[in-house]
Amino acid sequence: MNKKRINNIAKDKFMLIVILALVVFAFFILKQDKEFIDKEGRGKEVSVTSVSISKSNDKVLVEASKEQSQGGEYASAHEYSKCELVRVVDGDTIIVKLDGKKEKIRLSGINTPESVGDYKDNPQFYGVEASEYVKKSLDKKWVYLTFDKKKYDKYDRILAYVWTDVPNENMNNFFNAELISKGYAKWYNDRENKMYAELFEELERNAKKKKLGLWQKNKEGTMGIPTPHIEVKEQGIIAKTVLMPGDPLRAKFIAENFLENPVLFNTVRNMFGYTGTYKGKKVTVMGSGMGMASIGIYSYELFKFYDVDRIIRIGSAGSYTHDLKLYDVVLVDRAYSESTFANVLDGYDKDTIEADKELNDIVMEVAKEKGIPVHRGTIHSSDVFYRKNFKEFEQIRDEKGAIAVEMESFALFANARFLNKKATCILTISDSLVSGEVTNAKERQTAFTKMMELALELA
């Protein structure tokens, strides 16, 4: 081997060592905890263990580690959009320019009291204050949006978490969280968008303890808890999701046969209420009594004073058509009624109120998974059980398209609409006004299990 060849081999080995050293050094740099990332290259600090960036329009993808914060583990992986703020609609809705197009953004995971639209002349308590705070706080030209699993709400608004600067793991510029922590908003327990659910729940709990914002005493002197009809003295005992059969004994049956560790929390007027867990999720089941006046009281108090987010009525109904047989399951799309309940409540002047579309979509998904046939349509919520003209139901069926009759849903939907909550109704056919077939009281109390299973999956 000549001297020249030996020198070349030595040079090659030296270059290989240099390259290996550079690779090790690069790996060490990438493992550092501090990286400076910004779409426009300004150097925003984000504490991460590894970072990859892809640029597209106004979006930057930052893949980061998870960090413990506020007692829970939150993903610090954000795909964010930097948007120009166009205007503030109210406390939980803004309009931004996204990809050159104006888009309405609904702040995900929160609810602020209503102050615009139907509530402009009669805003809900602390609604105006919440709206003004958002206008004052977001007076800059830019906001940053991050997203969760569900992208749109039932009104086709984009669901997003709003940040006042580039999202970071400290979350000190996380605007949704700020609104809850200062009492301008309540936590909304969304079934799908749960990235910050634990954080929001904890912030709401702290705001309640301090009586901040909307948690202070209402200027109208609204009564607190316990209410005249529900004896619970503490928030949190009643779950965010409540199933409401009319019969309190049916509530007892569901608690004892479907819930784990059910606890009886209400016995006033023997209107039993239980809270337990179903498949690990906290859920409440409580009787509503018969008729709109009764469910009107209980559902209003649950929504208003116990901060319940959604109520699913589960009850019996009489069929108006030959297509519906005994024990068939009916999902209510809307309730028609001659009742003046909604008009007296808040001046609502229509005779039909829609059920919550998102809840109904979930019911249909679950029904498909479980292989449970479900009929859908308009139902008649009647104020009276006995009528002089029995055949009057035929006119209501033909003119209003009602497929069955019950006595509560219209009032439940009216309260949900007025208080900006969610409600739907799942019914089991217990009798037929067409064929004259009927079920007995025991069957109505215990045999409607398909309806119960569907409702429990909404927890």
Residues carrying an active site annotation? 431
Pair of tokens at residue 196: 């910050």
Closest CA to 299 of 310, 348, 458: 310
Amino acid found at 63: E
| Other Cβ atoms closer than 10 A to 290 | 15
Mutual angle of helices 248-258 and 449-456, in 10-degree steps: 70
Distance CA 443, CA 425 (A): 19
Which sign, positive or negative, has the C-alpha torsion 333, 336, 337, 341? positive
CA neighbours within 13 Å on the CB side: how many for 307? Answer: 21
C-alpha distances in Å from residue 171, one per residue of 46, 47, 108, 135, 178: 11, 11, 15, 20, 9
